[in-house]
Amino acid sequence: MVDGGLEEPYRERMVLDPIDLQTNGPQLLYGLRYHTHINKLDEVLTFHDQVGYWLWEPATRTLLQTLAIPRGQVAMATGTAEPDARRFTVKATLGSPTAGIVSAPFLHENFKTLSYTLTITLEGADTLHYEEDTVLQIADRPEPFHHTDSNTLKRVAAAKPNPAALAAAATPG
């Protein structure tokens, strides 16, 4: 235990599926839709549930992660990445108009998220490692608290692309 924090093992499943190319006028984005589900090893109920998108804009090398959690919080974190990047970082901060964090009143008043930083390292074709640091201002603590997570995830199945695109590709002519 470290000043109010503790280390807790957990089970995590992340599903990533490619989405069709996204366009905004001249802007082109490649993307993945994701869902992360986490359970503590000794509990059946969900500990953390998160959905969102990973988007990459080749023209600017901009990387975007959108995320939403069902406790009343959304965020968009940004960074940059080259096409062949094996390691990249995205960040969001409270109050930023382009890489920000918005929380429901209870979270904002009691567990205010000040910043979010996520670094992903791709370790081969089927493994990724992440390190996450979420800085919280907890109502009864004078100093910000660093909630950190890290994990190494291994692919267990291939991604499932748009079913209509698969059907169209399978149709001759």
Domain that holds residue 152: 10-157
Residue 113, exposed/middle/buried by CB under 10 A (0-12, 13-18, 19+)? buried
Taking all residues of the chain, what is their mean pLDDT, rounded to a whole number? 90
Q: Is residue 166 part of a domain?
A: no
Q: Is residue 163 part of a domain?
A: no
Task: Give the count of domains, the chain.
Answer: 1
Residues 6+ apart with CB under 8 A from 111: 103, 136, 137, 138, 139
3-state DSSP assignment of residue 167: helix
3-state DSSP assignment of residue 168: helix
pLDDT at residue 173, rounded to an integer? 65
pLDDT, tens digit, 9 for 90 and up, residues 108-117: 999 999 999 9
pTM of the full predicted structure?
A: 0.86
Q: The domain spanning residue 68 has which CATH number? A: 2.40.128.20
pLDDT at residue 5, rounded to an integer? 64
Q: Is residue 68 part of a domain?
A: yes
pLDDT at residue 1, rounded to an integer? 35
Q: Is residue 171 part of a domain?
A: no
Which is more confidently placed, 164 or 94? 94
